[in-house]
Homo-oligomer: A and B are copies of this chain.
Amino acid sequence: MSELRRDPIIGRWVIISAERGKRPSDFAREAETPPGKGCPFCPGNEKLTPPEILAYGEPGRTRDSKGWWLRVIPNKYPALAVEGSLSRQGEGMYDKMNGIGAHEVIIETPDHSCEIPDMSDKQVEDVLWAYRDRIMDLKRDIRLEYILIFKNRGAAAGASLSHPHSQLIATPVVPKRVREEVNGAKNYYEYKERCGYCDIIKQELSTGQRVVAENENFIAVCPFASRFPFEVWVLPKAHESDFEDIQKYETVNLASLLKNVTGKMNRVLDTPPYNYLIHNSPLKEPRLPHYHWHIEIMPKLTRIAGFEWGSGFYINPVSPEEAAQFLREAD
């Protein structure tokens, strides 16, 4: 079982996952994606993965066989696992607990090489709906405090398999970055008596210079303090703190905006590796007046180096206004 450890000074938790453990010589400098035939996420290879948790597919299909169009499985090398008890304990001055949680893979499509911009609208809606379904199921486990949904596309963005997939990690503590964001949002709300993200949306719509795209329910912007070149955030226009409250008609508009934005990125940046993640409210703090869920999309164009590690400060060589203009005009 992996172990969660807390830095005694800064309070940062890390997951020591030695089951994924490697000898020093095992660290490949570049991740490799296997050829399509040996891909464990391709139809026909269902037996290569752990048993599925959820699938959308043809009626009458049997579990762990073909006929699905979306499939959710446990990660074969989970950072955190469901079995066991938390058992928080000390080790001298240090704090640790068992690596309890969940680590799942959402296989977005049976088609090995169909990325989001090329999927049908319905397929992307199903991906979003699967995110929601998994959150609804996992939030019943009272040991869990947070669920982070994310996607790594491309080896440089950390993907070890090229078949389109997202991941979900549920943690028994609220992650530091989420806690900071929720607390920051709360401070803003207490000072202004308004949601900070609602204010951002209002200001961005009024100036327009950082808007990438929008529709009835969602807006995509390059944030004012973008950490990375061509970073894009997607936010619901209405105040919503919980992703899983999304309605069917909203997933239609979110899917269409996601396809649009990732397609623009591919055209402007020549199909870059990227990460995206959904920032949602903590599981035990639903319907917050001060928090506003959103998706952060980060193309991987620059390298994080000593300065960023040491400072938490990012150097971004492209202004968000310029990035937004390039993306806006790419059609």
Contact = CB atoms under 8 A, between A and B. Distances in A.
Interface string A169-204: 101000111101100110010000000110110010
Nearest to A27: B301
Contacts of A229: 22, 27
Contacts of A305: 150, 152, 157-159, 275
A15 B314 contact: yes
B310 A177 contact: yes
A316 interface: yes
A207 interface: yes
Contacts of A184: 9-11
Contacts of A9: 181, 184-185, 188, 196-197, 200
A326 interface: yes
Number of this chain's copies in the assembly equals 2
* Chain A, interface SS category: mixed
Contact of A21 (B12, B16, B200, B322): B322
A8 B269 contact: no
Given A14-B314, A230-B24, A316-B14, A307 B148 contact: yes
B203 A93 contact: yes
A175 B169 CA distance: 29
A317 to B, nearest CB: 4
Interface string A262-287: 00000011101001111100000000
Given A148-B311, A304-B158, A5 B224 contact: yes
A18 interface: yes
